[in-house]
Structure 1
Amino acid sequence: MQASDYDDVTTFLGEWGSFQKRIMLLLCISAIPNGLSLFSIVFLADTPAHHCAIPSNANISAEWINYSIPLEEDKGVMRYNKCTRYKLDVIQRLSDNRSVPGIDVNVTEIEQESCKDGWEYDKSIYVSTIVSEWDLVCSDAWKVPVITSTCFFGILAGSFISGQLSDRFGRKIVLFGTIGLHTLFTFILILSTSWFMFSALFFFVGMGGLNTFLIAFVLGAEILTPCLRTIYSTVGISIFFAIGYMLLPLAAFFIRDWRMLLIAINVPGVFYLPLWRLIPESPRWLLSQGRVEEAEAILRAAARKNRVTAPEVIFQPLQTENKTEKLSRHNVGDLVKSKNIRWITIMLSFVWIAVSIGYFALSLNSSNLHGNPFLNCFLSAAVEVPGIILSWPLLRSCSRRLCLFATLFLGGVLPLFTLLIPRDLKLVSIALEMMGKFGFSVAFTIVYPFTAELYPTVLRNTAVGTCSMAARLGSIAAPYFLYLGTYSKSLPYILMGGLCVLGGLLSLLLPETYGMPLPETLDHMQTIQRFKKTQNSNTLSGDTTAVENDSVF
């Protein structure tokens, strides 16, 4: 049964009844825990100001203690060196000899050594982070991007598994399974006793994290009526994600200990699990599995909620026949089976990688910007709201390909101009980064429905999950893009900008889905630009000119 048939059959429900309101609200709320937890590493693993510790039993006079650590320039300000100190035995000997630093002795001529007695951390911002607890600084600073990437590796694995599981076993059971997995392992994460243990557990937290958003996105797109899909897939679920993201710096501002912060951001997930009874399975998915009675039961319950009368027979036998394709017979291999689908998958995956690198790099960089880290993170979250709102009219009236190109170009190029801004104009640099984040927010909001529109129902969740898996490669790389900034400030921006512009150009080659109904089978998929001449009569673009105005997003 084609998308237009399904939408025609279910018109008796109406557009905006109690059933649609409840489903849309509940699925949107599921995005709040995602927004809270996804960027929590910004505060959990932030690096406080630090310098080498001087042990209390060192027998060094107070006058010499202030000169025991070299000074260095950091962003135009003189600060204590973070990783070295002057040799303590020399300092002790000079202190015993009553030498005066700067007068009797030139301290800069004393040989330096590493922080053998650990570090002292500034606690004016954080009581503790995983960095200060396990000394992930100096020679061990590489462990911080590894920890961040581990979470995204978990999301990568979860994207690969959850998409196929939800196409095979249903959207609902996998949705709540990923929420439960994320909630359970976040609580276990609090018990970590080392950075390695934290990383291992963080992998499983990632497996259940952002994948909840993906499954809820597909579930809502399949249950809601055509006019509501655009609202849900852009303004709806994305706004609630941004709300969760904005709540993160608020929670971190009041809770400065990393373990207590984890408890606070995990509470919404606990309260969401009991909503199992209120969210139904996708009738579209049930129909693709041949479970017609269950699909009709859900729609009849929806009709009662909306106070309308359902037809005696909702789906005619001919409408539910699917002799050639069933969801259980399809897997991720079908995404590269034919030449056309393979090229769509490859190009779309690169676009997702480009969007992901830009979005996550700028998001994770918020704590490194000048000024208050909590305010910067809040601005990084808040700037997504106008981007999400703008994406709604763009999806309703503009080409998907042109929108993706424009927003990727904007997000990749604008942050480059921060390299040209004088050091004393720090607010201008922050503004340019936020404008770049705005561009990536719009691009991310558009790429989700664009991907769902390109693939058929029998592969839609697998396709979105696989593209999200490709995006995770970008999010895994994002922390290392930032790490390259320790060697060259311009390198992360140049690499990110180049990838995003290339991704935008590739998006122009993808099929246009604006004004087209959702494809139900592989034969309904459109061809990309270079294969237009080879498309056969079974493709959707060859026989649906009459329904071009029946936009589904």
Structure 2
Amino acid sequence: MYMCVVTLTRWFPESARWLILNDKADVALKQLRRVAKMNGKEEEGKKLTVEILKSNMESEQLVINNRRSVFDLFRTPVMRKIACCTMLVWFSTSFAYYGLAIDLQGFGVDIYLIQLIFGAVDIPAKLLAFLFMSLIGRRFTQATSLIMAGSFNLVNIFVPKEMQSLRTLFAALGKGCLSAAFSCCYLFSGELYPTVVRQTGMGLVSTMARVGSMLAPIVRMSGDYLSFLPMTIYGGMAIIAGIAAFLLPETRNTPLPETIEETENRTIKDAEKAKDSKRADVALQETYLSLMKQTV
């Protein structure tokens, strides 16, 4: 099977961007025209030339020549906030997800049944996450799913163990919210990091998720001393991460940033617009109050 997959990869096309940056623009042009034809855009494909491709990649070539490291994620204030918040979001999502998953026997229900429930709840959760991300936004979906997951975990602490059905319901809802949060993590983080450090940033947050999954079983052992402690920690971390997600900028219907400077400037402009909007609302309220006083 492995050899079959390796053999098939010989027919996978190379990235057009990679081909252009490695002086193979003519090959990239052929591939782009073939893709344009498949998408019903043959006329647009014919308009492409090697010169157009190279001119569009000049700025990216300059970016690649200036190599970036993980330290670039923490040098500027906006990138530092994005890096810290996304690290916390990924860590807490994985931490709470695996912490809940390894405690299946603690709900007092048949382990095979609860595995079926936990697996089935992922399907509607991910569909709802997709709808909310598309219609409302990534930040709202990310933050709300984490806060709801943490809340379900904390509520379950106060449910008596005799009420197995209710405990299982809250656990399944929490698991579904964490699945939705995981789905949002990949899309939201990829849109937050600029192109020059996107892979570096995604590697960093993925590492934090692995750390969270490794610490989850250790925290579970604290239940031998205080039964409510593991769920309190899992739920508390999820809620804290959800609050941190609200500090991140919204990326829905916005172009992907290419450079760190673009990310910094975009966030500063968004903050200025928010301040101007707030000032306009305050001025409108003052005008309304003054008119009301004159009327009286």
TM > 0.5 fold call: yes
What amino acid is aligned across from residue 442 of structure 1 in structure 2? A
Could you list the runs of 5+ residues in structure 2 that have no partner in the other structure? Answer: 273-296
CA RMSD of aligned residues (A): 2.8
> Where in structure 2 are the equivalents of 1:371-450 lying within 5 Å?
371-450=109-188
Indicate the residue corresponding to 1:474 in structure 2. Answer: 212
- Structure 1 pair 314/449, CA: closer, same or farther in 2 (3 Å)? farther
Asked whether the 8 Å contact 1:511–1:528 carries over to 2, the reply is no
Partners of 1:435 and 1:393 lie apart in 2 by 17
Q: Is 2:264 aligned against 1:511?
A: no
Write the letter of the residue equivalent to 1:348. T
1:277 correspondence with 2:15: no
Distance 1:338 1:434, change over 3 A: same
Whether the 8 Å CA contact 2:78–2:263 is kept in 1: the answer is no
Structure 1 counterpart of 2:224, from 483, 486, 489: 486
Q: 1:372 to 1:429 in 2, by over 3 A?
A: same
* In 2, Cα distance between equivalents of 1:368 and 1:288: 55
| 2:51 is the counterpart of 1:313 | no
- When residues 398 and 534 of structure 1 are mapped into structure 2, their CA distance, relative to the original with a 3 A threshold, is closer
Structure 2: how far apart are the matches of 1:482 and 1:279? 44
- CA shift, 1:447, in A, is 1.6
- Separation (CA, whole Å) in 1 of partners of 2:11 and 2:150: 41
Match of 2:190 in 1: 452
Distance 1:294 1:286 in 2: 7
1:284 & 1:362 partners in 2: Cα distance?
Answer: 42
8 A Cα contact 1:327 1:459, kept in partner: no
1:380–1:456: structure 2 CA closer, same or farther, 3 Å change rule? same
Cα pair 1:407 1:439 within 8 Å, conserved:
yes
Q: Relative contact order (alpha carbons < 8 A, sep ≥ 6): 1 or 2 greater?
A: 2
CA distance in 1, matches of 2:129, 2:170: 20
AA matched with 2:164:
K
Matched residue, 1:140 = none
Query: Deviations 1:234-272 (Å, cap 9, x if unpaired)?
Result: xxxxxxxxxxxxxxxxxxxxxxxxxxxxxxxxx7x7765
- Report how far residue 468 of structure 1 moved: 1.0
Cα drift, residue 372 of structure 1: 2.8
Cross-structure match for 2:98: 360
Alpha-carbon distance in structure 2 between the residues aligned to 1:393 and 1:327: 39
Number of equivalent positions: 267
Structure 1 residues 89-139: Cα deviation after superposition (integer angstroms, max 9, x where no partner) = xxxxxxxxxxxxxxxxxxxxxxxxxxxxxxxxxxxxxxxxxxxxxxxxxxx
C-alpha distance 380-465 of structure 1, shift in aligned 2 (>3 A): same
Q: What letter is aligned with 1:329?
A: R
1:296 aligned residue (29, 32, 36): 29
Q: How does 1:47-66 map to 2 (within 5 A)?
A: none
Aligned with residue 502 of structure 1, among 220, 228, 240: 240
In structure 1, give the amino acid aligned to 2:48. Answer: V
Give the counterpart letter for 1:320 in structure 2: M
Contact 1:416 1:493 in 2 (8 A): yes
How far is the alpha carbon of 1:363 from its aligned partner?
2.0
Matched, 1:339 2:77: yes
Shift, 1:444, TM fit:
1.1
Higher Cα Rg, which structure: 1
Contact in 2 for aligned 1:456/1:520 (Cα 8 Å): yes
3-state SS in 1 of match to 2:196: coil
The amino acid that maps onto 2:214 is: I
CA distance in 2: counterparts of 1:293 and 1:472, whole angstroms? 41
- Quickly say closer, same or farther: Cα 1:533–1:496, change in 2 above 3 A: same
Cα distance in 1 between the residues matched to 2:271 and 2:40: 49
Share of identical aligned residues, percent? 29
Residues 34-63 of structure 1, C-alpha deviation per residue, up to 9 Å, x if partnerless? xxxxxxxxxxxxxxxxxxxxxxxxxxxxxx
